[in-house]
Amino acid sequence: MENTLDSAFPVLGKDIPKSKYTPISLSESNKVLNTIDVSSSDKLARFVNFHINKHKAMVAYGGYLEVRNIYKRSKHFNSQAEEERNIHLGIDLWCEAETPIYTPFDGVIYSFQNNTNFGDYGPTIILKHIIDEVVFYTLYGHLSLSSIENIEVGKTFIKGDKIAILGDASVNGDYPPHLHFQIIKDIQGRSGDYPGVCAKKDLEFYRNNCPDPNLLLRLGI
């Protein structure tokens, strides 16, 4: 797959230059963020939007393998029977709701689903790609409800095609608008969903199975 990345297409597409992207940290080590009530999507949105505006950007990005406190608000990530899941496995692209999303490679819809747990992806699309006989998947989470209407498994997209738009907090798991973008090598038989956050004990498996999306996006490079 690495040889295919030279010609990759950015998932937010054609109208946002790299100069309008700025890195952001939602890590538990971010002292400023630790003063924010991250259980409130409105307060988190103010933090994110202030950061974007301060840097005269349009998109804030980051989060791969970031350890985050934000997931403490949801039982979906915290169960007495399991170790806390708080390590983020994709890259988040924080920007305005209804921002169009494009496929970076030719592919087909492998599955889609509205994941409605509090703090979950909300509407989600997973694409399957086969390049140079290598099979892999890309996941797009926190979409609009309209993005999963009138689509079907097997639908073909060409690199650069619009596949979805971003949702808002009312449908996206109660977050400020953003895209969760993740690369998956082995989908493990899952459909419509794949873990985007893991526990420390599972980190090595997921680090290998879900490579850094910035290998593709090349933001800040």
- pLDDT tens-digit profile, the chain (221 residues): 444 444 455 788 677 888 899 999 999 999 888 888 878 889 999 999 999 999 999 999 999 999 988 877 666 667 655 778 899 999 999 999 999 999 999 999 999 999 998 888 999 999 999 999 999 999 999 999 999 999 999 999 999 999 999 999 999 988 999 999 999 999 999 999 999 999 999 999 999 999 999 988 888 75
pLDDT of residue 162: 94
pLDDT of residue 216: 84
Tell me whether residue 42 is exposed, middle or buried, using C-beta atoms within 10 angstroms of its C-beta: 0 to 12, 13 to 18, 19 or more: exposed
pLDDT of residue 221: 59
What residues pair up with 92 in beta bridges, in sequence order? 62, 180
Closest CA to 145 of 111, 181, 117, 121: 121
pLDDT of residue 133: 93
Cα separation, 155 vs 109, whole angstroms: 5
Cα separation, 168 vs 94, whole angstroms: 11
pLDDT of residue 119: 83
How crowded is residue 152: how many other Cβ atoms within 10 Å of its Cβ? 7
* Cβ contacts of 56 within 8 Å, gap of 6 or more: none
| Superfamily of the domain at 2-217 | Glucose Permease (Domain IIA) (2.70.70.10)
- Assign 3-state DSSP to the chain and report helix, strand, coil percentages, each to 5: 20, 30, 50
* Cβ contacts of 81 within 8 Å, gap of 6 or more: none
pLDDT of residue 117: 86
Closest CA to 123 of 90, 147, 89: 147
Cα separation, 80 vs 202, whole angstroms: 17
Q: 171 is written with which tokens?
A: 């449908």
How crowded is residue 70: how many other Cβ atoms within 10 Å of its Cβ? 21
Run of H or E including 42 = helix 41-54
Tokens 């690495």 identify what position?
2
pLDDT of residue 80: 54
pLDDT of residue 177: 96
